[in-house]
Amino acid sequence: MGKTRILVVEDDKNILKLIIYNLEKEGFFCSGVSNGEDALKELETTRPDLVVLDIMLPGMDGLEVCRRIRQEKSLANMPIIMLTAKGEEVDRIVGFEIGADDYMVKPFSPRELILRIKSVLKRGREENSQDVLLEAGSLVMDLAKHKVIAGKKEVELTMMEFNLLKTLMSRRGRVQSREKLLDEVWDIAADVTTRTVDTHIKRLRSKLGKSGDLIETVRGVGYRFSEDH
């Protein structure tokens, strides 16, 4: 198995060098670009295992880059960690709504970024190693192939959305609190709030169509996957 490849998109040259230095020191293979247009060109020619994406970029910003990645079927479940100086909760919610898997605010610790990257990649490997089908009505999750079928139509989910649905479906009928979901789905999320779970659930329900109704809200507690199917 070759080295894990990471694309870093950051317009501040010093921060770009710092990130690449620390990631390569950790054993990752890195490439770096300073704007959104070059990031999309890079993705056309190479297939990184994860993207570290700054939001405040010249020209096309990171949010638009993230949207375009999620619209491309072959890249739809590629892990994206957003890195930005914007620390307000509303900015984090926007990032998660368009498909970011994790979100870090500058100034940041290179060590924490490395831990976040390893955590996101580990979840992806664990999902791909499981030869299991989870089914409920017309909703089917194929964990081995990383596929979700809802109403006979394949649904493109981000890694976080996939992991969230897997957690709920595998514990059908049992209420999962927002805190528990944060701990298990996001793993290390010191600056992620419980509202993030609500944002992901809303997006997940929308993508699943009628099957999204199987995710029930337990007021004041959290969420539960219906056991009636």
Convert the pLDDT of each residue in 10-43 to its tens digit: 999 999 999 999 999 999 999 999 999 999 999 9
Structural tokens at position 217:
């809200």
**Angle, vertex CA 36, rays to CA 30 and CA 39, nearest 5:** 35
Give residue 202's pLDDT band: very low, low, confident or very high (50, 70, 90).
Answer: very high
Domain 131-225 class, CATH top level: mainly alpha
The per-residue pLDDT for 16 is: 96
Helix axes 89-97, 195-208, angle to 10 degrees: 20
Q: Specify the domain boundaries for CATH 3.40.50.2300 within the chain.
A: 5-126
* Start-end of CATH 1.10.10.10 domains in the chain: 131-225
Distance CA 86, CA 59 (A): 17
Q: Which residue has the higher pLDDT, 85 or 204?
A: 204
Q: What is the phi-psi region of residue 228: left when phi exceeds 0, alpha when psi lies from -120 to 50, beta otherwise?
A: alpha
pLDDT digits (tens, 9 = 90+) for 59-112: 999 999 999 998 888 887 789 999 888 766 667 777 777 888 888 888 888 999
pLDDT at 190 over 90: no
End-to-end CA distance of the chain: 40
From the CA atom positions of the chain, what is the Rg in Å? Answer: 17
Q: What is the pTM of this model?
A: 0.66
Q: What is the Cα–Cα distance from 176 to 225, expressed in whole angstroms?
A: 9
Q: Which CATH architecture has domain 5-126?
A: 3-Layer(aba) Sandwich (3.40)
